[in-house]
Amino acid sequence: MPEGPEIWRTADVLTESLKNKPINDLFFAFDKLKEYESKLEGQKVNRVEARGKAILTYFESDTVMYSHNQLYGKWMISKNGEQPDTNRSLRVAIHNDEKSAYLYSASEIEILNRDKVNEHSYIQKLGPDVLHPKTTYEDILGQFQSDKFKNRKLTTLLLDQGFVSGIGNYLRSEIMFYAKVNPREKLREYSNQEKEALAEATIKLSERSYETGGVTNDEKIVNALKRENASYDDYRHFVYNRTDDRCHKCGTVIEEEKTGGRKIYYCPNCQLN
């Protein structure tokens, strides 16, 4: 499932393609949304933004389209109404004179009133969105310092969208590595300094992944590996999905463990010593 950086990049592409351009045709696959095809035709899209792993499309009226891709949903953009060549099931299509935006395979699509967005069952449960422009370092640090979460294991907590939204499996391992913390502990077992490091890593690596299109590794390491003709998979991450490879920082062999049915990756030397 795409994580926060990928969802925000999708929102950016949709904003660039749709913002301030009158809609000349609209398609909804679900019968419950059909009435909005005519209601929204002729309107402009004001903006598109991410909330956790959902996307909100704001029309110039008080109407907002909520969509969540789940595992298989995907937005695609084309020019002049040319529909992409795909076997996916079309759920939504938004057309203007320049671009067309197609949403495929998503199962959760709703139309909301703008003043009711924060009352949506998914959105109201979200923690601070790590990439939202209004989210601060203090917001993220406050989550790590909160008594509400102190008895939760960090590996589980980092995937909880009610803790910090936008974090997924690759960012989880990368954040714990960058903060140099033992991934096996509960939140209460980390020092204040470690919690500060975790908050910093959460923001820094999420922003880095957003800006680079998915790379979380340090720029100097990435550039050095590129000069050695390393593949994208070799230089993209510090530890995620690099079992039995060498740590970019110390040369120790990266290990993996399964927790909650999903793997975490870590460096025994950088994180356990």
> Is 3 one of the annotated active-site residues of the chain?
yes
- Candidates 180, 184, 262, 263; catalytic one: 262
What percent of the chain clears pLDDT 70, i.e. is strictly above it? Answer: 100
Q: How many C-beta neighbours within 10 Å does residue 99 have?
A: 18
Do residues 95 and 81 touch, judged by C-beta distance below 8 A? Answer: yes
**Structural domains of the chain ordered from first start:** 4-125 (3.20.190.10), 137-272 (1.10.8.50)
Split the chain (273 residues) into runs of 10 and give each run's mean pLDDT.
89 96 96 96 95 93 92 88 89 95 94 95 95 95 97 96 95 98 96 98 97 97 96 96 96 94 95 90
> Is 53 one of the annotated active-site residues of the chain?
yes
In a 10 Å sphere around its CB, with 0-12 CB exposed, 13-18 middle and 19+ buried, how is residue 207 labelled? middle
Strands 25-28, 90-95: pairing kind:
antiparallel
pTM for this structure? Answer: 0.92
- Which residue from 18, 64, 3 is spatially nearest to 39, judged by alpha carbons? 64
Strands 108-113, 63-68: pairing kind:
antiparallel
Give 165-214 as a DSSP string: BT--HHHHHHHHHHTT--TTSBGGGS-HHHHHHHHHHHHHHHHHHHHHTS
> Is 262 one of the annotated active-site residues of the chain?
yes
> Is 186 one of the annotated active-site residues of the chain?
no
The pLDDT assigned to 80 comes to 73
Instruction: Report the distance separating Cα 137 and Cα 212, nearest Å.
Output: 21
The pLDDT assigned to 81 comes to 78
- Calculate ∠ Cα 42-44-45, nearest 5°: 140
- Which residue from 179, 218, 214 is spatially nearest to 199, judged by alpha carbons? 179
Q: How many C-beta neighbours within 10 Å does residue 84 have?
A: 13
User: pLDDT tens-digit profile of 48-95?
Assistant: 999 988 999 999 989 999 999 887 889 999 987 788 889 999 999 999
Instruction: Report the distance separating Cα 24 and Cα 215, nearest Å.
Output: 37
